[in-house]
Each structure stands twice: as C-alpha cells, then as structure tokens.
Chain A
C-alpha cells in the first residue's frame, strides 16, 4: 500500500489552504458554497443532467439521502471520528428528532422552526441518559448498548399509541416560509438549502471545537483514554459532551427529515440507517470533515444513480466497512497527519 501511504489528498489540500491569504480563502469558500447551493439546478442543463437519478427525482435525492446523510455523518463524525466512540445506534437520535417533529407538529401549534431546538434538546437529553451508564466503560460496551438503543427506540415507536404504532404519523406540517422562501414538496430546493445551511453550521461548529479545548480533549481521549485521564482531562464529561452533541445533530436532521417527508413510520429508522451513516464516516475517513462529506455524498448518491447497488446496498456497505478497515483504515481522505510528522521531525 505504498501509494496510499504517500498520497494524502487531505494534506495536499491543507498545504494549498495554508499558502493562501485571507481574501483568497474567502473567495474559495464562497465559490464552493455557491457551486453547492446551485446543485439543485444541475438537473436542468444538458451537460450536468448526467447527475440526474433514474428512479427518483433528482432534487429529492439531493435532500434525502445526500444532504441528510452528509449532515448525519458529520454529526456521527464528532462521536466516532473525533473522540473514537463507536455509536451503532445513531438512527435513534434521528428518530427522536423526527418523532418530536411529528408529535409536536401535529398536536400543538408550534411550527417546525420552534420544534427544531426542542427536537435537538430531546435527542441530546437521550444522548446524556444513554451515555451516563455506558461511557464510563470501555468502548465495546457503548457500541453494543447503542446498537440495542437504536432498536429499542424503533420497537417503542411501534408499540405505543402516541407514536401511531406501526402506521406512524402523517400530516406533519412543512416549515413556514422564511424571507419569502417556501418549503414544500414543489419547492425541494428550499429544503436542500436548509440542510446546506445546517451542514455549514455543523462544519463551523466542529472546526471551532477542534481548535479549542473540547477538540483537544477528544483527540487525547481518542488516542489514549488512560493517558488523557492522567493528564487531567475530565474524560467522562468530554465523552458525554461529544456523544450528546452528535446526538443533537442527528436530532436536527430528524426534525427536518420529518417535515420534508411529512410522514414518519418506525420502518424508516432501522439499524440499516445507523450502519449506512457509519459507513459514510468510515469510508470517507474518520475524523476528517472533508473525507466524511465526500464519503457520505458518494455512498448516498451512487445507489440512487446505479440501480444494481440499491438492491444489495447494505451488503456493499458491510463489505466496504470490512475492506476499508483492513486495507485503508483511515478511509478515503485520512485525517491530518502532518502535525504528527512535523512533531516527530522536531523531536529528532
């Protein structure tokens, strides 16, 4: 694997980025955001219409799965990539967000924008409650408890009355218009832009965290928990923070998903979704925002574009997990290695 060791796209990108001055960076960022924001129109032109998906509407695919997966993968990346905790039940937080939107949206007068923070709060709360007993223990326990939790949330949704049982809840309102921008089934562009804004906020949040104390604490915990504890990092507290912030992102994605689909049912929140999001994170490169985005985009988009993959989707993802862990455990775009190399050089 000589090539994969020497070639690290992420580092090349970072080098280029550091050469630039502030205006250059601003122009680049704005340009990238602009291109991404214009993606919903790409289906209309002859050159870019190759992006069109054969079975489902292209704009719908951009919102779900592509946008949603990127958003959730970024959230899960905080947990798995940044702090090295394996969460196999991420779908639970997505489901909690979606059901908050469904229940509050149909039975109260709150609109989706008001429900969004409530859904995030509930997801965070359940993250804390789940994290308290398990995060004190080794990582494997967290993995299996979250695995169970994802399934429990679904079983509970099937078996209690207020969630509509196996039939789910329909008639969830769309979000009210913002600045004349409408959000409904004819205006999927609007949803894409909401998701895009949320993705940008999450990226910004992760970058701020990484540069500050929590990011360093997570990195220390990921590399060696015992050492981190000896160095005075309050390990449990930062693990719970990481876990619940990841949960909040999942909850936010759930709220938006429910109000876009206007309908939730327990079938939407199976273990498969957790696996999918985990595959996105692992495939792209754990701990690296750009890797996760690329990974999630590829894994969400390809099965829609190529029909063969969509029937055996899970199988392919399972294989991807095994192969990537064996061959290139850092994923497509590995996390930054430069600092490590630099530090080694300095100590020699």
Chain B
C-alpha cells in the first residue's frame, strides 16, 4: 500500500487515468454497439483490438521500413506515416470485426440457435485469432518504432502534458463525438437504433438486418482499431495476448456505464481508467487486472444496469 504516491502525484495520475480511460472508451464502443443490436457480448472484440495493434506496427515497420533504432520524424512525413498506421489499424480491425460477425454470429442467427451457441462460437473465434497471432509471432512481443518525438507541450504546475497523451485525449474524444453524432443523426444510425429496440419491427419496416448488423460490427471495429493505434502510440509494443486484459477492462467500462448505452460507455471508460491508475499506484501495477475485475463484480452486484443503465432508452445504440 502506497498512499504517498497518490498524494504527491495526484494530478499526473489523474491525467494518465483520463488518457487510458479514453482508450477504453473507444474499445468499449466495440462492445456496447454490438451488445446494443445483438444483445450479445462480442467476445472477439479483444482480439479485434489485438489485430489493430499489430496492423499499425506492421505498417510502420514493414511498409515504411522503420525499426527500433529509427530516429523520430517530423513534419509532413510524420503526419502521413501516422495517418497510414491509423488507417491500417482501423481498417484491419473493422474488417476483422465484419469477418467475426460472418463466421461466428450470422449462420447461428439465421438458424435461430440459442445464445449459448453464439457465445461459444464467438469465444472460439477469439481463440483462433489470438492463437493464430501467437503462432505467427512465435509468442514474441512486437515493439513499435518511436516515430513521434514525445515532448512536453506544456506544463500545468508539476504535471507535464506530453504530446502523445494530448493526441489520445483529443482524437478519442473527437471520434467518440463523431460516433455519437453518427448514431443519432444519420439514416444508418437510425437503423442501428431501430434494430436495437426491436429486431422484428425494424425488419418489418424494411431494414436490412444483416447489413445493419455488419455495419455495427464495422463501426465498432473501426473504433477498436483507432484505440489500438493510440495504444501503440503511447505504450509502443504489443503481444498476441494483449487483448485479454484490455478487453476485460473495456468490457468492464461498458458495463460500468450501462452496456448498450453509448454515452454510458464514455463515462464508464474514463471512470475505469481513473480507478485503474489510482489503484495500481496504491496497490502496485501487478494488481491492475484484479482491480478491474473487482470493479466488474461490484458493478454487477450493486448496479447491474450500470451507472446510466437501460433507463436512457433513447440514447441507446
């Protein structure tokens, strides 16, 4: 137990918590959107994240040819390199998500089998993805070359705002805002909301169910991929099993905010990021996953609908 760290570094821990929280927000969108339309947990979302982290690093290493000893780059070159990494991560995650839906959910949905079957096939897909990555990478971690010169943009008191932290917060907030607008304002967003309210009715209204579900998985995958890129930017390495803990945390964030509820995921993600950072400062980093788990169990025990819960029917995905 180390409470002195909390008091002495309160503000920098707060910043770190918010930054990791924003990454959770994006991943938990993948869970919460799919849950909204299918009422099923997308177990493979953690692996969709893993695919994204690899896609981003592989683009910078193998296409642009940077390696661990590369110098940081600046200006236009930096923008298009990072842009390409981001695009690769988002697209690969999005495509993986659509494939997961095709392989693990669609056939079973058409057959009308029970929920257990869908859960098992989703967990199977998740294992195939992570094991495939394990065999391809021979269980070795893959480091991301540091392309971005991580300088402190400004200081507030003792707290330094590092450039990558600022990028994470601004970019994730912008993406979240975009998704929120998309779901609430566009036609496809309306279709997604309709499906989440009632599958049968929305089919009667002429909505192509399969297309809407694919689109939901794709958007969820895009967000998870963006989170993967941001994760690489900050933590600079990945492994085949990286999705496990982050997936559990993001899922907890989604449950904390009320799964199926977009804005809930936002608050859930940030709250969880803060809880996690402060708890690991107090108890030690090795207990991080345990903290997340305890939060999950406590939420399920006392507030199973989450902080914002199912009450906000309208803003549900």
User: Known contacts A145-B300, A315-B131, A322-B104: does B125 contact A139 (CB below 8 Å)?
Assistant: no
Docked-complex contact B286 and A148, CB < 8 angstroms: no
Question: A52-101: which have CB < 8 Å to B?
Answer: 80, 84, 86, 88
Q: Is the CB of A314 within 8 A of B300?
A: no
**Which residues from B are CB-within-8-Å of A80?**
116
Taking CB atoms and an 8 Å cut-off, the chain B residues in 295-314 that contact chain A are 296-297, 300-301, 304
Q: Any chain B CB within 8 A of the CB of A46?
A: no
By DSSP majority rule, is chain B's interface helix, strand, loop, or mixed? helix
Q: B121: CB under 8 A from chain A? A: yes
A140 and B41 contacting across the interface, CB-CB below 8 Å? yes
Q: Are A319 and B289 in contact (CB under 8 A)?
A: no
Name the prevailing secondary structure of the A interface residues: helix
Known: A145-B296, A271-B244, A312-B135. A140 touches B40 (CB 8 A): yes
Bound-state CA distance A275–B244 (Å) is 14
Which one of B116, B135, B297, B304 lies within 8 Å of A86 (CB-CB)? Answer: B116
- What is the distance, in angstroms, from B105's C-beta to the closest C-beta of chain A? 10
- Residues of B near A275 (CB, < 8 A) are 123, 127
- B98-119 interface code vs A (CB 8 A; 1 in, 0 out): 0000011001100001111111
Within A249-302, the residues touching B (CB, 8 Å) are 271, 275, 278, 282, 286
Whether B119 and A86, one on each chain, are in contact in the complex, defined by CB atoms closer than 8 angstroms, is: yes
Most buried by B among A80, A159, A315: A315
Interface status of A122 (Cβ within 8 A of chain B): no
Inter-chain CA distance A138–B160, complex, in Å, is: 44
Question: Does B166 reach chain A (CB closer than 8 Å)?
Answer: no
Chain A residues, Cβ within 8 Å of B141: none
**Once the chains bind, are B251 and A315 in contact (CB under 8 Å)?**
no
Q: Is the CB of A149 within 8 A of B293?
A: yes
Q: Are B119 and A312 in contact (CB under 8 A)?
A: no
Most chain B CB within a 10 A radius of its CB, from A136, A139, A314, A322: A322
**Residue A137 interfacial (CB < 8 Å):** yes
- Residue A326 is within 8 A (CB to CB) of chain B in the complex: yes
Q: Which B residues touch A317, using CB under 8 A?
A: 127
Let me know if A156 is at the binding interface, CB within 8 A. yes
| Contact of A33 with B by CB under 8 A | no
> In the complex, which residues of chain B have a beta carbon less than 8 angstroms from the beta carbon of A148?
248, 289, 292-293, 296
Chain B, residue nearest A281 (CB): B120
Chain A, 115-163, CB within 8 A of any chain B CB: 130, 132-134, 136-137, 139-141, 143-145, 147-149, 151-152, 155-156, 158-159
Q: How far is the CA of A271 from the CA of B289 in the complex (A)?
A: 14
Q: How many angstroms between the C-alpha atoms of A262 and B127 in the bound complex?
A: 30
Of the residues A143, A152, A286, A326, contact of B119 by C-beta under 8 Å: A143
How far does the Cβ of A343 sit from chain B's closest Cβ, in whole Å? 19
Residues on B with C-beta less than 8 A from A282 are 120
Least distance between A37 CB and chain B CB atoms (Å): 33
**In the complex, are the beta carbons of B289 and A152 less than 8 A apart?**
yes
**Across-interface contacts of A286 in B (CB, < 8 A):** 116
Task: Let me know if A155 and B120 touch, CB within 8 A.
Answer: no
**A112 CB to nearest B CB, Å:** 30
Is B124's CB within 8 Å of the partner chain A? yes
Which residues on A sit within 8 Å (CB–CB) of B115? 139-140
B290 CB–A CB distance under 8 Å: yes
A326 touches B293 (CB 8 A): no
> How far apart are the CA atoms of A319 and B134 in the complex, in Å?
15
Does the CB pair A143–B41 fall under 8 Å?
yes
Taking A149-B293, A312-B135, A318-B131 as contacts, is the C-beta distance between A141 and B124 under 8 angstroms? no
Mark out the residues of chain B between 34 and 55 whose CB falls within 8 Å of any chain A CB in the assembled complex. 40-41, 43
| CB pairs A–B below 8 angstroms (16 shown) | A88-B123, A134-B300, A137-B300, A137-B304, A140-B115, A140-B119, A141-B304, A148-B248, A155-B286, A159-B286, A159-B287, A315-B127, A315-B131, A317-B127, A319-B124, A329-B113
Instruction: Name B residues whose Cβ lies closer than 8 Å to a Cβ of A.
Output: 40-41, 43, 103-104, 107-108, 113-121, 123-128, 131-132, 134-135, 244-245, 248, 251, 255, 286-287, 289-290, 292-293, 296-297, 300-301, 304
Residues in chain A within 8 A of chain B (CB atoms): 80, 84, 86, 88, 130, 132-134, 136-137, 139-141, 143-145, 147-149, 151-152, 155-156, 158-159, 271, 275, 278, 282, 286, 311-312, 314-315, 317-322, 325-326, 329
* 3 nearest CB pairs, A to B: A321-B124, A318-B127, A325-B121
**10 further contact pairs, Cβ within 8 A, besides A86-B120, A321-B120:** A84-B114, A130-B297, A133-B297, A139-B116, A140-B41, A141-B255, A151-B248, A158-B286, A282-B120, A322-B121
